[in-house]
Amino acid sequence: MTAGPDPRTGADGFTVRPLAYTDAVVRALEAELQQEYVERYGGADESPVDPAEFAPPGGLFVVGFADGEPVASGGFRRHTEDVAEIKRMYVMEDRRGAGYARRLLADLESRAAAAGYRRIVLETGLRQPEAVALYESSGYWPIQGFGFYADQALSRSFGKDLTFSD
């Protein structure tokens, strides 16, 4: 008798699994993300990030794999006692349009709720219209700016209440 498929594996072979923020796979995806920031904004994201913030129980970093290849990443860290902040959402350019970002975001929301968070906040930029569209279509609403880029004209902050099921 063989074991059934992993219930978190989609029919297209997409799986999400936690990895340390310092893992080589995460670092490679982060380097691609930072290069995209350079191209879109003229410089890397300078938000302070401590890898320990993405360690359980207060945070987590995940990588999405399509047929065993890393294609997407993102994480959450503690913002306040019951609010998590999503950081470093990224999908490789040649893998966009397959729904990986939406599925990764839903996975992060589920894991943040399981960690006891009741709300998610995040910050993105206007030169990432696909990210803004993803968050708005996923139930996020505009909130007051926060964090490193709170006073920047191109920065937008969003929030979402997490739902819990029994």
When mean pLDDT is compared over 7-16, 39-48, 114-123, the highest value belongs to 114-123
pLDDT tens digits for range 50-109: 999 999 999 999 999 998 999 999 999 999 999 999 999 999 999 999 999 999 999 999
Amino acid 27: pLDDT:
97
How many Å apart are CA 111 and CA 108, to the nearest integer? 5
- The pTM of this model reads 0.88
